[in-house]
Amino acid sequence: MQLCKLAAAFVILSVLVSSSFANTNGARAQLSLKDGKNSYRIGEPIILDLEFSADQPGHLLNTTTTEPASPIDEITVTPSNGVFDWLADSSRSYRYAPDYASTTKLEPGHPMHIVLPINAVYRFDQPGNYTVRVATMRVLAPGDFSQSKDPLITNDVTFAVTPMEQADEQSIVNHLMEKIRSAPDLPTAQGYVETLRWLTGEPSTRAKVELFFHPQVYEPFGTDVTSALWVARDRELIVKLFEDAMNDPSYPVQSILSLAAEMKATLAVPPGPNAAQPTAQAQEQFEQEYLQKIAATLPQRSGQNLTQTAETILTNLARKHQTYSAQFAAAQEVLITHFSDVDIWHQDWLLNSYGQYLADPRIVPALKSLLEEKLDDTFLGTKSAALDRLMELAPGDARPYVVQSACNPSESLYFDVIAKLPADALPEVDNCLLSQLQNDADTTGGRARARISQKAMLAGRFATKSIYPQMLALYQRYSAQWDDQTRGGMLAYLARYDTPGGLKLLQAGIPLNGKALNVTPIFALVRAYYSPAVDLFFREALQREEPLVAKQAAYEMSQRGPAEDEPILRARLAKWQKQWAGAAVPSEQYTLQAELIRALIAAKNWHEDDSTTETLRASCIAEACRKIYFHPEAATQ
């Protein structure tokens, strides 16, 4: 009898071992429970320890673990009764899988460990004895390191799950909430949230909803309990609490809307392989219903409560392209007339992403007020967005803010925004920019280096001819030690006010005799000021035989050159076609041909008629050019 038992045990062991070796070329994965624990109360983290080992060198181990858990590890729990796959239910066929991986060598004699919480996939609703195994695709085969088609299958591990009384859970929740509220920083607070996350009963569910409504904030970020809510057993309770909050005019409605609709949709549509589309449709329906209800409460709200709720309505309806509804108009009116009450962390986003819906002169005072606030560098983007919108609505009012920003010795608003000011030059900035450039001329690193680059570009864009001698002297003395962007900005200024001299400086500063042009100074040069000297420089570059040089010139002339550049580009294309007619075209040459054609078709300062455009496209004689650059799909872009 004893021999039979031993034989049976040997057979079982052989099956497990052979499973762990299946199609692995000498790698295995061994499963255990972390710290040897084998009994857990419902809601406690159950941590699996995956040990990977190899008998021969050359394997790589993918050590990437993600939140949410990716399908690289397939965890199977039996029996399935009393176990709920909350991750599959919440993802509804859109399981997250990263497009990146971190790998390390898996060497013989040096096993490596990956820990995985079962709770990140499953929720245990019933006490009992459960068995778990993992099929993992983490091991990459030697040689080409292609991922094995067959996973490593681990051994089985058994553990017990016991009940957690509500009073016990409440005690744990009270302790965790106290720790979260008193945490000194966000990582510490979020660590306690992660412990709260796996609890599943009513006490933890109410605490999670409370944290969702009132996160522990460390500006501009706060604790995140979104995934913790999906773990909770009573999703109906969460939806009810969310709906109660949305119906309460004293509570500002923001991210709660989409999450409430999504959760309600998963309750309405049973989980399964075909649940994704019905769930999305149900979510859309619930969102529409919620939006109508909360829009009706706008007159009962005030302050940031009002603007946050209006922001939710406007952004959701805009994404749905429902911008002609009464609800959208009500939210739009609130944000235009109360923009000063919008949370400053959201002003940038609203102005940049939804500014077209706020283009009303009544918002101008709020934009000016924002520009006049003394804020740290964190809000340069917010102020830049405000200035951008001010230029659209009241360009005459924007000038003093541009001057103030340009003359600020420490920082400026975003250059591409400032450069939009409808003024060719600003005499008011001459002295301050010259002074700052003189003070920082010999700077070689750090923030001062970025600052001088910005000031050089601002000089190219706005400074007048009155400081030309001093600027030329600075360039002659310090250009060799400046970075490319600073040189590009200074060259823009010098070329602007002396065409012959500026052209010579351009030819010396951006040599045309290489395989390609140095694009960094060019990027600053053309953004700062595209002067006649700059255009002459690119006309010369266009005639070079090096295709990358001519290609860059064609692009710049198309984007910023005057209409007089059109026949010059056309002549260069004709020269190319004559030169390569009937010849085998090298790849770098057909990219030049394609760029010349596109430069003519997509120019900013002239327009080719449809017939000419089609003729130009047809002239793309190289097969690769036609296939890659002017296939039917590209023609519609």
- Tokens for 214, please give them: 């009132």
Which mean pLDDT values do the consecutive 10-residue runs of the chain (637 residues) have?
37 36 68 91 94 89 88 93 91 79 89 93 95 92 64 94 95 96 94 94 95 89 92 95 91 87 91 82 92 93 92 93 93 95 91 93 95 87 93 94 91 90 94 92 73 92 96 93 93 96 94 91 95 97 94 96 96 90 79 90 92 85 61 45
225 φ/ψ angles, rounded to the nearest 5 degrees: -115, 15
Query: Which pLDDT belongs to residue 446?
Result: 66
Q: Strand pairing partners for 152?
A: 136
Q: Is the dihedral of CA 530, 534, 539, 544 positive or negative?
A: negative
Query: Which pLDDT belongs to residue 23?
Result: 39
Contacts for 512-518 with beta carbons within 8 Å, 24 or more apart? 512/540, 512/541, 512/544, 512/549, 514/546, 514/549, 515/546, 515/548, 515/549, 516/546, 516/548, 516/549, 516/552, 517/541, 517/548, 517/549, 517/552, 517/553, 518/484
Query: Which pLDDT belongs to residue 521?
Result: 94
181 φ/ψ angles, rounded to the nearest 5 degrees: -70, -25
Q: CATH number for the 19-163 domain, one of 2.60.40.2970, 3.90.226.10, 3.90.1150.10, 2.60.40.1840?
A: 2.60.40.2970
pTM of the predicted model as reported, rounded to 2 decimal places: 0.75
Nearest one of 449, 457, 373 to 415, comparing CA atoms: 457
Instruction: State how far the Cα of 337 lies from the Cα of 615, in Å rounded to an integer.
Output: 52
Query: Which pLDDT belongs to residue 626?
Result: 64
- CB within 8 Å of 562: residues ≥ 6 apart: 535, 605
Instruction: State how far the Cα of 415 lies from the Cα of 452, in Å rounded to an integer.
Output: 12
Contact indicator for 561, 534 with CB cutoff of 8 Å: no
C-alpha distance from residue 493 to each of 82, 467, 486, 552 (Å): 74, 10, 11, 21
C-alpha distance from residue 280 to each of 258, 287, 293, 606 (Å): 11, 10, 20, 46
Query: Which pLDDT belongs to residue 407?
Result: 93
Nearest one of 285, 268, 236 to 92, comparing CA atoms: 268
Q: What is the DSSP string of 524-548?
A: HHHHH---HHHHHHHHHHHT-SSHH
Q: Is the dihedral of CA 550, 554, 555, 556 positive or negative?
A: positive
Q: What is the DSSP string of 44-65?
A: S--EEEEEEEESSTTEEEE---
| Preceding omega of 68 cis (within 30 degrees of 0) | yes
The DSSP letter of residue 582 is T
